[in-house]
Structure formats: C-alpha cells, structure tokens
C-alpha cells in the first residue's frame, strides 16, 4: 500500500489546485462541478472506524493521483511558458541561462568600421 | 531548420508513395510552393471558442458540452465516457483552459479520444502484447555494474518492488546487468497476459500508455494495484537520472520540465485506468443499533 498521508491534506491540495484554475477565469471555484463532486465523494467515503477500508483507500489513491495530475500540469505549463515554445533565444538570453554575461566594452571593440 | 527537415520528410514520403508528377518536378521546388496545411501536425494551441462547459448524461454514457455544442473526437464521433468522475475530470480540463486551448496539457481528453477512435486499429490482444513487450526491457530489471553507489541504490530501491510483483502474481522476474537483458520465462508472460486480459479496452489503453511512459511493466503493475503512488513510480522510473542530478546538479528547463511532464502523463494514465475499470457499486454500511 502506498503511503498517501491524511485525506484532509489531499482534499486541501485539490481545492488549492481548483482555486488556481478558476483564478484566471474569475469564477468562484465552489460553483464548479469538480468541487461539488470532490467534496461529496470525500464526505460519502468518510468512515469513522480505524480499520483499513479498501474502498476508502482506493478513493484516496485516486484523489492523490488527480492531485498529482493537476499540480504537475500547472508546473509543466509554467516551465513551458518560461523556457519553451517562444522560438529561438537571443545570444544574451542563452548566455544568461548558463550564468554567463556577454562582454561589454563602452568604446566599441575597435574593429567595427 | 526544423521546418526544412519536415519539408524534406514530406518530399521523401511523396517519393515513396510514387511520383504523381514527374520525378524532377517533385525534387525541384516549385517557384511558388502552395502553403498547404500539414495533416499530421495539428496546431498545438487554438483560441478558446466557448464560455461554459457542461456535462449531460446520454445513452452511451456521459457527454461534454461546450456552450451548446457537443464535444466530438478527432474522427468526428460523439465524445462519450463511461464514468461520471472521468467526465467531470475531462470537463475540468476543458474549463481550465484560459485564452488558448493547450492540447498538450489535456492528457485525459487525449486518452479518451484514443479509446473512442482507436486510431491505430488495435484489438485487445495486440494491446496486451504491446504492453508486455516492455517486460523484456523493463527499466527495473536492467542494472548497472558501476559506479558502486548507483549499484546499491538500484538494489535498494528496485528490489522491493520486484519482490512485491513476484509475490503478488506468483511469477519469476529476474534482473540482469548484460545488454541483452533478463530472460523472461514463458510462464510469467502467460500469467501477466491473462491478468491483463481481465481489463476492458479502455483500461488497457490506459495501461499501455502508462507502460510506455514509465518504460516498465513492473512499476505499472505497482501503480495499478495501488502499491506505488505516482510520485514514487516516476521516481523509480527515473532513478538513474535522479542519481546523476544529485551528482551533477539539476537543470530546471530540462530535468524539472521532463519530470513534471512524466508525472502528469503517468497520473493521467493511472487515473484513467482506475476510473475506467472500477465497477461503481455503492454499498451502504448498515447502521448497528
């Protein structure tokens, strides 16, 4: 069995991802179908006994997987926008990526016409 | 440069398919080459053309509505999914697109489309064979001989999951350091084939997708049987890369980028398998008076 931590923590993480998603569109995240479905299924599968319940574990595993999916997509898109998909970089930017700077000479390099 | 390569490939394909025009005419570019859209390279992004995303329950399952239009697959079939949770996840994917629709982030939609259209026209046996092919070259069965720290790392991290798989399915899975890889007994293959045959087509598409992401049948089984979380499975799949990162440093735009993409794809595949293979039986607990 994979250790997943507490279900409340997973739910909080999922709600945070929903907030990120709906922040851009400006609509409250509590009105989305995903919010209602998640909260309902977390409520429905809440069991009070301490015994290991297979169905509950399965649901928690799916929730954790979904959380991983949403979080990874968000971070992947952020990295994609930062580094990829904008065509070729300028020489300065390429140098900056590896921590270098282009040489700068105030009076010109001397060989220009 | 990339564009030239594609154009060259295009020319080559035309030559292979048999010259429609004269050979010379096809090799020499026309003075004004017509700008034709490439059928095999769909646009990666397009404008968000809808406001609201909704779900309706139809005859074949759950459907997605974009405003008042029904979502269709690339082959123009009606987009229907068997489970409500999957439909909600797909709708959330469409709803979370901002100004442009980024198809490369919509893994669940992609998986549903693949299952609905089955563009490669494969049947169940072919899918199982394609997934099991990875067992011959399973990531966790290939070991290095040096450096010593990596040898020990692989032993400590990969052996427990192999032991688990052996016990769970009652099969023999060996590991090897040679380039030809471990030899897989015929019985292992039979047992796993019959195990995979118990899944339906949708789940199998998802399993094959996860296997090709993780490059490992054993890790996929661990993920499907709730033994490993997605993060653990991805870590084990990238073990050598993680070791090299520890040694030489992390590069955000290569290592982290790949890590997040692999995690997203693996999580999408695993979730897809779970949502498509579960039978939704709700048992209410009897209250004890």
* DSSP helix/strand/coil, B75: coil
Weakest-pLDDT range from A66-75, A82-91, B21-30, B155-164: B21-30
Domain identity same for B281 and B161: yes
Please report, for the domain that includes residue B99, its CATH number: 3.30.2180.10
Give pLDDT tens digits for B54-80.
999 988 889 999 998 999 999 999 999
Query: Cβ of B264 and A3 within 8 Å?
Result: no
pLDDT for res B11: 43
Domain identity same for B102 and B128: no
Q: Are B124 and B204 in contact (CB under 8 A)?
A: yes
pLDDT for res B60: 83
Cα–Cα distances in angstroms (integers) from residue B168 to residues B9, B153, B161, B178, in the given order: 47, 23, 10, 26
Q: Are B87 and B55 in contact (CB under 8 A)?
A: yes
Question: Greatest CA span in chain B, whole angstroms?
Answer: 89
Domain identity same for B82 and B132: no
Please report, for the domain that includes residue B259, its CATH number: 1.10.3580.10
Query: Tokens at residue A2, please?
Result: 């994979």
Asked if residue B17 has pLDDT above 90, the reply is: no
Closest residue in B to A97 (Cα–Cα): B253
Q: Tell whether A52 lies on the interface with B, counting CB pairs under 8 A.
A: no
pLDDT for res A103: 82
Q: Are B181 and B136 in contact (CB under 8 A)?
A: yes
Out of B101, B117, B133, pick the residue that ends a domain: B117
Domain identity same for B48 and B131: no
* DSSP helix/strand/coil, B46: strand
Please give the backbone phi and psi of residue B72, each rounded to the nearest 5 degrees, phi first: -120, 160
Give pLDDT tens digits for A32-71.
889 999 988 888 877 544 555 667 788 889 999 999 999 9
Domain identity same for B142 and B281: yes
Interface test with B, best of A10, A53, A66, A87 (most B CBs within 10 A): A66
* B232 chain-A contacts, CB cut-off 8 A: 2
How many Cβ atoms are within 10 Å of A104's Cβ, its own excluded? 5
Asked if residue B34 has pLDDT above 50, the reply is: no
Out of B63, B95, B117, pick the residue that ends a domain: B117
Out of B57, B89, B117, pick the residue that ends a domain: B117
pLDDT for res B30: 41
Domain identity same for B145 and B105: no
User: B216 is in which domain, residue-wise?
Assistant: 124-288
Structural domain total, chain B: 2
Report CA torsion sign: B201, B138, B236, A4. positive
Domain identity same for B283 and B168: yes
Asked if residue B283 has pLDDT above 50, the reply is: no
Q: What is the ipTM of this complex?
A: 0.80
Residue owning tokens 């992004």: B45
Residue among B277, B88, B94, B229 nearest A41 (CA): B88
Domain identity same for B113 and B144: no
Q: Are B162 and B140 in contact (CB under 8 A)?
A: yes
Q: Are B201 and B248 in contact (CB under 8 A)?
A: no
Domain identity same for B223 and B151: yes
Mean pLDDT score of chain A, rounded to an integer?
Answer: 83
pLDDT bin (cut points 50, 70, 90) of residue B262 is very high
* pLDDT, mean of residues B68-94: 92
Asked if residue B240 has pLDDT above 50, the reply is: yes
Mean pLDDT score of chain B, rounded to an integer?
Answer: 83
Query: Cβ of A65 and B278 within 8 Å?
Result: no
In this complex, the residue of B92, B102, B264 whose CB is nearest that of residue A34 is B92
- Min Cα distance A107 → chain B (Å) is 36
* pLDDT, mean of residues B159-169: 94
Asked if residue B9 has pLDDT above 80, the reply is: no
Asked if residue B14 has pLDDT above 50, the reply is: no
Domain identity same for B110 and B191: no
Q: pTM for this structure?
A: 0.81
């Amino acid at each position: 069995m994979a250790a997943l931590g507490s279900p409340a923590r997973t739910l909080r993480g999922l709600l945070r991802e929903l907030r990120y998603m709906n922040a851009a569109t400006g609509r409250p995240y509590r009105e989305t179908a995903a919010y209602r479905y998640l909260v309902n299924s977390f409520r429905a599968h809440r069991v009070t006994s301490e015994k290991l319940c297979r169905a509950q574990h399965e649901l928690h595993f799916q929730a954790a997987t979904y959380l991983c999916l949403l979080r990874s997509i968000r971070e992947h898109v952020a990295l994609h926008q930062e580094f990829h998909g904008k065509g070729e970089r300028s020489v300065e930017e390429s140098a900056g990526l590896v921590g270098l700077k282009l040489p700068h000479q105030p009076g010109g390099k001397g060989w220009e016409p | 440069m990339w564009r030239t390569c594609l154009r060259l490939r295009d020319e080559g394909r035309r030559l292979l398919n048999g010259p429609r025009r004269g050979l010379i005419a096809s090799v020499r570019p026309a003075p004004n080459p017509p700008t034709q859209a490439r059928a095999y390279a769909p646009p990666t992004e397009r404008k968000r053309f809808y406001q609201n995303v909704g779900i309706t329950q139809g005859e074949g399952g759950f459907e997605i509505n974009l405003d008042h239009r029904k979502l269709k697959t690339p082959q123009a079939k009606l987009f229907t999914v068997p489970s409500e949770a999957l439909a909600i996840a797909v709708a959330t994917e469409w709803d979370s697109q901002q100004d442009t629709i980024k198809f490369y982030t919509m893994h669940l939609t992609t998986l549903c489309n693949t299952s609905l259209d089955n563009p490669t026209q494969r049947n169940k046996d072919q899918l199982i064979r394609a997934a099991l092919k990875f067992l011959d070259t399973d990531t966790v069965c290939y070991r290095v001989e040096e450096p010593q720290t990596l040898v020990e790392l692989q032993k400590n991290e990969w052996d427990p999951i192999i032991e688990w798989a052996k016990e769970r399915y009652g099969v023999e899975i060996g590991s090897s350091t040679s380039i030809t890889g471990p030899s897989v007994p015929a019985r292992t293959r039979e047992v796993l084939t019959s195990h995979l045959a118990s899944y339906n087509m949708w789940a199998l598409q998802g399993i094959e997708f996860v296997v090709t992401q993780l490059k490992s049948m054993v890790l996929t089984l661990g993920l499907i049987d709730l033994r490993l979380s997605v993060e653990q499975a991805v870590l084990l799949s990238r073990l050598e890369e993680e070791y090299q990162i520890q040694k030489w440093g992390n590069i955000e735009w290569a290592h982290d980028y790949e890590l997040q993409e692999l995690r997203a794809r693996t999580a999408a595949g695993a979730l897809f398998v779970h949502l498509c293979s579960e039978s939704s039986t709700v048992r209410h607990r009897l209250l004890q008076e």
